[in-house]
Amino acid sequence: MNLTQLKALPRTRKRPMVRKGRGPGSEKGKTAGRGGKGASARTGFAQRFYFEGGQMPLVRRLPKHGFNNAIFRKVNAVLNVSQLDVFDNGATVGPEEFLKAGLINRVLDGVKVLGDGELKKKLTVRAQAFSGSAREKIAAAGGKAERINLKGEVQADVPAPAKAAKPAAPAKAPKAEKPAEAKAPKTEKPKADKPAEAKAPKAEKPKAEKPAAEKPKKDKPAK
């Protein structure tokens, strides 16, 4: 026996009782460790983790963006066909046998069998889901893959709905050619000759003669 094998007795693990509301000397006197007045002093009070003292918290200041379906997500326990060789040839195995053999820890939302590795034994495998390659390898070994619900009831395999082919576009009918219409030749209308108008001669305005103004002669100085 050594120190690592010692265990505390149940009676020694009990915490001592804390006396509250028994005066200031008990350190839990007047307010009994609940602080001042208000909601924090009441039973059932729990402060939100994003509380920032009353101001608009960050989680409300930032806009919402996108979405996720995490709360609706289904998580399956996963194993591969190569792990199924631990069972006897010709056996029928399901989630209970997987748990006993230690192939999975828990069922969660179901068990899904994947197609990694090779299967050498003929088995009837029951699970909530199978991959396409797992189904092929189980069938190739002479076994059978059966889909069950969480109650263990065998469910009929529902084939995936085939994608509807797009309807072919209807062939367009050739356009009927319109018969060429014979156009009548255009007849030219004779232009009427306009009578020449006699233009009256323009009357010439008499030019008024300006009287010639005599310039005074400047006397040249004697030399």
What is the per-residue pLDDT for 153? 86
Token output for 129: 């889901």
CATH classification code of 84-155: 3.100.10.10
Report pLDDT digits (tens) over 48-66: 999 999 999 999 999 988 9
Indicate whether 220 pLDDT > 70. Answer: no
Nearest to 131 by CA among 148, 153, 120, 147: 147
pTM above 0.75, yes or no: no
- DSSP line for 44-87: T----TT--TTSPPHHHHSPP-----GGG---BEEEEGGGGGGS
Is there a contact between 96 and 77 (Cβ–Cβ < 8 Å)?
A: no
Is there a contact between 126 and 98 (Cβ–Cβ < 8 Å)?
A: no
Residues β-bridged to residue 144? 124
Report pLDDT digits (tens) over 63-114: 988 988 888 998 999 999 999 999 999 999 999 999 999 999 998 899 999 9
